[in-house]
Structure 1
Amino acid sequence: MVNIKAKGFENLAQLQEHLAELEEESPADEQVPEASPSPQEQIAELRRELAQLQARLVPIHAKTEGLDVPSRRDVHLWLRIVIAAATTLVLARVVQHFRPGAPGAAILPLLTARRDGRI
């Protein structure tokens, strides 16, 4: 049976020697923990960032100040979609009920398009 972990090494001693070399080269021992800033320094940094963000917002507010409020058509977009779907459903039921034949089938798409244009 082949020991996959020791593959490439002739014996266990070579494997242990290789692992010892890797351990010596490991940067984990060399890491120096950074000193964390005091709470006062953190608050000061947050205030500086807040001031920068507010300064960036001023030109944006100036650009959007003269814009109009969205029209009623834009505000009620979903309502328009629901009405169009309901109208289509009602017309489909009417067509199924009355079965208007070929002339009626040709006219119904025109009526539906005209109705959707008014909503």
Structure 2
Amino acid sequence: MGFENVVKCLCEHVDVRKTNLVRAKEGRGLTALHLAALSKHYEVASILIKHGVPINLLQGTFAWSALHCAAESGNAATVRLLLNQGADLWSEDIVGWTPLHLAAMGGHSAVVRLLLQNG
């Protein structure tokens, strides 16, 4: 059983919007959606979003959104998913950086193009 199956099972048996699953954080303060975006787990991110996990929460040491995480890791598929679901393209972290800044700094040209096309 992979990550996708575990997350799908949890989401189907629990109202994620009414539980701590939405806002539960790991050591750096990131939620499950942030971690899925950062770790390139597109299917997990998709399942979480489908079940109502908020996409614009600013979390973690730098107050990143899930879009910041996906852009920083060069995760174009999840960037597209988040944008299609209404992620805030202009969200700034604690130092004023947007997902576009992070994608550019990481040399993720496909993500940079995607963000520019949607901005």
TM-score bracket, shorter-length normalisation: under 0.3
Larger radius of gyration: 1
Between Structure 1 and Structure 2, the one with more helix by share is: 1
TM-score by structure 1 length?
0.17
Larger relative contact order (Cα-Cα within 8 Å, sequence gap ≥ 6): 2
TM-score by structure 2 length?
0.17
